[in-house]
Structure 1
Amino acid sequence: MNITWELLPCDNLRLCQFMANYELRQQDYLVAFDGDVILGAGLLKDDGADAHVDVVVAPEYRKQGIGKTIVSRLIESAKSQRVERLTSHGDFAFWQTLGFENIADNQYCKLLPAAAQGLVETWHQGIPVTEFLGLTITHSSSTRVETSADMEKSINVHQSMFAGAIYSQAVLTGWGLIHLRAQQAGINGSIVLASGDIKYRKPITESPRGVVNASLPLSDFMVINDGDKYRVELTVIMHQGESDDVSAQFIGRYVILPKS
């Protein structure tokens, strides 16, 4: 099989014939060909920061990785367009292998790197001190967020990171994980810190790094849609550079308030 690719408009005759038994959207389609035969087609329906991805593979060519290849190409296209969140529907087993998670009956979603980039921009615009400290997200996944800060902007008279900067970075590291999971769940609420406790164990003299690891099921966030608060306690560890030694441990109790 020699697969070639074309971007076809929705009124293309061959595409219309291929999609005769499926919903055809008013959008260009990424189409996989073997010679003149259409193997499958997919689309990326962009809606600002969000986009919907869909794919159809001819029955006789299924289970050969064609659908995953089409979606993977569409995901890369979404990344280049700075799309933050992708949604899909259909066979969950298929979408799960591509990193999508279930948010509702027959609805799945996936966050892209632009979501973390967008969050950092929100911090810098809404909390000026975060831009001054050079706070950024260096890693994000469904269960982990890591942040870094500019040591030169955080230094005290002892040539180590001052306590307030450590506390702020720890708070926002935990806040970041909650925000990204809520965004993936499609929840729009206000995240606040209800209370926080921190223990300072070792001075940080270079490369401040905040790390939070936690499993936050997307289904838990759905209470916001019912007008209820979502509460979660997170532990954030502050490190120095790549060291695994604990420089500070922060325990934060966060609340998401429904937006009226």
Structure 2
Amino acid sequence: MFECRAPISQQEFDQYYHLRWTILRKPLQQEQGSERDDLETQAVHRAIFDNKGNIIAVARLHFCSMFEGQIRYMAVADDFQGKGLGQQLVLALEQFASSLGVNKLSLKAREQAISFYQKLSYKNMGFSHLLFNEIKHFKMEKTLVRAVLPHDKLSTALQNTWHSTIPMSKAMKVTVSYYDQQNLVTTCDELFNKNLHNTMFAGSIYTLSTLTGWGWVYLLMEQKKLTGNIVLADAKIRYHNPIAGIAFAKTGFSLSSGCIDDLLTDKKIKLSVEVQVMSGEKVAATFTGLYFVLPK
């Protein structure tokens, strides 16, 4: 049995990078370390483990913009090629990207891998570059298509409410990237929200978190067709790690408590909402907000 997941321990990451180097860089006489780049800490990593815990295939996803990602460093151990592991990795990364609202993926494929990616619906966009002035690579792209759902209208209404009533949200380009009535994911423009250290400004992380929590309460009310004024009564945030790339803020039923139906009693209600701000798949900040809803 094979298991596909992110590496967790340092030992697993050491295996992960070693396989990457062995397959992709060692045959080109490149030193260890050449298999890594500056985006590792903000990327999404996937590995396939055999039944002994050995890593036999790897791939990585990073985000180029709020709605576009790129797959890189796909490698399968020689003894396990042709067993569908590459396809499993691509599908796992596509699923993760879709869960954040990313709708376009790209990659740079070696010439012999073009047909593999074409079978997975990636289009060959033409020659990209020569790796180490030797290996031809071709750019390939795929649009991740999902059905238009009724609650997409709620997402649009929430985003319009933010931008029309809170000027900062429009300047930050705060956007609903994913909503399925169980979970809400938001994001914002990377360049506008950078500080002098080239990481996301702490105030922008706080603002994105506050609006995401407020947005979750708004969506709960809209689903039930309830009215009320939402106010933030109390909040705290913990910053765990800097965010060097695209930030995604996530919340949902599993991260909130309180009953919106209590609005039917015409009394003030309170809901606690936790928001996790992600860098890749790591939680970079944790926000907890106490929201009051005041009957109109």
CA–CA distance in structure 1, aligned partners of residues 180 and 213 of structure 2: 13
Summarize the alignment of residues 47-86 of structure 1 with structure 2, pairs less than 5 Å apart.
none
The code of the aligned residue for 1:226 comes to T
1:125-159 residue CA offsets vs partner (Å, 9 max, x unmatched)? 10011011010001112221000100111011111
Tell me whether 1:143 sits opposite 2:182 in the alignment.
Answer: yes
Report the secondary structure of 1:153's partner residue: coil
What residue number does 1:117 align with? Answer: 156
CA contact (8 A) 1:142 1:215 kept: no
**Residue number in structure 2 paired with 1:132:** 171
Matches within 5 A, 1:196-235: 196-214=235-253, 220-235=259-274
From 221, 224, 246, give the equivalent of 1:185: 224
Does 2:203 correspond to 1:164?
A: yes
Q: Distance in 2 between matches of 1:178 and 1:127?
A: 16
Deviation at 1:223, TM superposition (A): 2.3
Q: 1:258 to 1:216 in 2, by over 3 A?
A: farther
Q: Does 2:277 correspond to 1:254?
A: no
RMSD over aligned CA atoms reads 2.0
The answer on whether the counterparts of 1:143 and 1:177 sit within 8 Å (CA) in structure 2 is no
Task: Flag structure 1 segments of 5+ consecutive residues without an equivalent.
Answer: 1-109
State how far apart, in whole Å, the 2-side matches of 1:145 and 1:189 are: 20
Which amino acid in structure 2 is aligned with residue 152 of structure 1?
A: L
Q: Is the 8 A contact 2:198 2:244 kept in 1?
A: yes
Question: What is the CA distance between 1:213 and its match in structure 2?
Answer: 2.4
1:128 and 1:147, CA in 2 relative to 1: closer, same or farther beyond 3 A? same
Aligned-partner Cα distance in 2 for 1:177–1:141: 11
- Greater than 4 Å deviation, 4+ residue runs: none
Distance 1:158 1:136 in 2: 24
Question: Deviations along 1:22-64, whole A, 9 cap, x unmatched?
Answer: xxxxxxxxxxxxxxxxxxxxxxxxxxxxxxxxxxxxxxxxxxx
**2:201 and 2:275 mapped to 1: Cα distance?**
17
How far, CA to CA, are the matches of 2:209 and 2:156 in structure 1?
18
Contact 1:138 / 1:146 at 8 angstroms: preserved in 2? yes
TM-score of the superposed pair, with normalisation by structure 2: 0.47
Residues 278 and 284, structure 2, Cα contact 8 Å, conserved in 1: yes
